[in-house]
Structures are given as structure tokens and as C-alpha cells.
């Protein structure tokens, strides 16, 4: 990848395409400004990457080692810090500011974020399992997982069995999204379609690594 930004999901809107006479759903992301805090090199770290910070935060809310890490780059303390392995990392200087105009209209990108947490859920909602009949002796267990034993051997539940448990709040990446609008002055990027995460959630935008066939 050659481009990357950290942003905050603002919300969704839509535009009307006069060419196709269709409404296009858009997700608006506040992308940047991001500051390059650290540069990883092959000589020192074994790989090439950039560490980028986004979102202001008061210094009293972070530890002294974190303050020193940002002070070394002569940059203000940031709330979010992420690392990207960019092909052009060697040409970017520490302290450089990356804004929304890093991307252009028409670019195809991947957007990653943390999905909404849904708490502890049953196997029907979590794994799309079927329910049993609610009449003729099924009792109060029509939404339960049911029998799942493996007989006498190996007498245990196989790893990966679809069971109730914590749902959501995991990293999700949506690929092949098109950038429709770029507002460099306000650091806003409008992406066609929906991106993962709740409103005001942190997302990362990178140029598409692997294109999916339509």
C-alpha cells in the first residue's frame, strides 16, 4: 500500500447521480490531519513502516513515556496511534502532516474499523442457527443450541463449534470502496457505501491492496 489515513466516522448521507438517476449512499469520514510520529526502517527494525497519530488529547491524560514518544517527533500528543507498512515510507519525514487530500476522487480504498458491540448473544442471532418448533413437547428450549455431544469419542466439543457468546466489537474491513468526494479544507472524505463501526468510531483508510472481482 502507498496511502493511509486514520479518521473518524461522522455519519451517512446520500447524493443523487444524474447520470444513472440513482441515489448513492455515502459515509462521511473525518480523515486527518494525521502526523507522522515514527518511521520504522529495515536497518533498525527489520521492516519499513510509518507510525501515524490522529486526534488531539490533553497531555495530562497520557503517561510520561507516551509524552516522550511524541516529543521525540516534535509533535503534539495524539489520541490514536497506528502503524502502516507503506511502500513509500522512506520518502516521508517524521513530523509530516497527512490530510484528506492524500486521497483523490475515484480512488478505491479499504476501510477498517471496530464493529458495534452487541454483548452476549445466543446461537440463533450470533451464528444464524435454526430454531426448533415451539409446540408438542419442545418446552422452553426452542432457541437453545440443543444436543452437541460427540458421542463417546472424543467426548468433547470440537474447536470452532457455533455456540452462544460475545458478538460484535471486532475488527471489520470493507474492501473496494470508492471515494466520491474529498473536502481538503475540512478534512472530509465521502466514501460510497457503508463502513464498519458506530458513529464517531475510529477507522483507517488505505488504498486497496487486493481488488475483488465484481
**Both 41 and 129 in a single domain?**
no
Contact 183, 26 (CB under 8 A): no
State yes or no: pLDDT of 21 exceeds 90.
no
For 106, the domain range is 4-59+68-118+172-207
The per-residue pLDDT for 214 is 45
CA dist., res. 47 & res. 91, Å (int): 14
- Output the domain CATH number for residue 28: 2.40.30.10
**Both 52 and 156 in a single domain?**
no
**Both 129 and 110 in a single domain?**
no
**Both 45 and 23 in a single domain?**
yes
Residue 150 binned pLDDT confidence (cut-offs 50, 70, 90): low
The per-residue pLDDT for 120 is 96
**Both 106 and 86 in a single domain?**
yes
CA dist., res. 103 & res. 189, Å (int): 8
Closest by CA to 206, choosing from 88, 117, 63, is 88
CA dist., res. 150 & res. 153, Å (int): 6
Average pLDDT in the 75-97 region? Answer: 87
The per-residue pLDDT for 155 is 76
Buried b (16+ CB within 10 A) or exposed e, 88-115: ebeeeeeeeebebebbeeebebbbbbbe
**Both 187 and 164 in a single domain?**
no
Report the domain count for the chain. 2
State yes or no: pLDDT of 145 exceeds 50.
yes
CA dist., res. 104 & res. 99, Å (int): 11
Closest by CA to 186, choosing from 8, 3, 1, is 8
Percentage of the chain beyond pLDDT 90 is 39
3-state DSSP assignment of residue 45: helix
In a domain, 214, yes or no: no
CA dist., res. 38 & res. 81, Å (int): 10
Summary mean pLDDT of the chain: 87
**Both 83 and 161 in a single domain?**
no
End-to-end CA distance of the chain: 21
Residue 45 binned pLDDT confidence (cut-offs 50, 70, 90): confident
Q: What are phi and psi of 206, to 5 degrees?
A: -130, 155
Report the range of poorest mean pLDDT among 183-187, 194-198, 209-213: 209-213
| Owner of C-alpha cell 458421542 | 151
Helix (H) or strand (E) holding 72: helix 64-72
Q: pLDDT, tens digit, for every residue of 155-191?
A: 778 888 888 999 999 999 999 999 999 998 899 999 9
Amino acid at each position: 500500500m502507498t496511502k493511509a489515513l486514520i479518521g473518524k466516522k461522522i455519519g451517512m448521507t446520500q447524493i443523487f447521480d444524474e447520470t444513472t438517476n440513482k441515489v448513492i449512499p455515502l459515509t462521511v469520514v473525518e480523515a486527518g490531519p494525521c502526523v507522522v510520529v515514527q518511521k520504522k526502517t529495515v536497518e533498525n527494525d527489520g521492516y519499513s513502516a510509518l507510525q501515524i497519530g490522529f486526534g488531539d488529547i490533553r497531555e495530562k491524560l497520557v503517561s510520561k513515556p507516551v509524552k516522550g514518544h511524541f516529543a521525540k517527533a516534535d509533535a503534539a500528543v495524539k489520541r490514536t496511534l497506528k502503524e502502516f507498512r507503506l511502500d513509500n515510507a522512506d520518502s516521508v519525514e517524521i513530523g509530516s502532516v497527512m490530510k484528506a487530500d492524500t486521497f483523490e476522487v475515484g480512488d478505491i480504498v479499504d476501510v477498517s474499523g471496530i464493529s458495534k458491540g452487541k454483548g452476549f448473544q445466543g446461537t440463533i442471532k450470533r451464528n444464524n442457527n435454526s430454531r426448533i418448533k415451539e409446540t408438542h413437547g419442545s418446552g422452553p428450549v426452542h432457541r437453545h443450541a440443543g444436543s452437541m455431544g460427540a458421542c463417546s469419542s472424543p467426548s468433547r466439543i470440537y474447536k470452532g463449534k457455533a455456540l452462544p457468546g460475545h458478538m460484535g466489537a471486532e475488527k471489520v474491513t470493507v474492501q473496494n470502496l470508492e471515494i466520491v468526494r474529498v473536502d481538503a479544507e475540512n478534512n472530509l472524505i465521502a466514501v460510497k457505501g457503508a463502513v464498519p463501526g458506530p458513529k464517531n468510531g475510529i477507522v483507517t483508510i488505505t488504498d486497496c491492496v487486493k481488488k475483488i472481482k465484481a
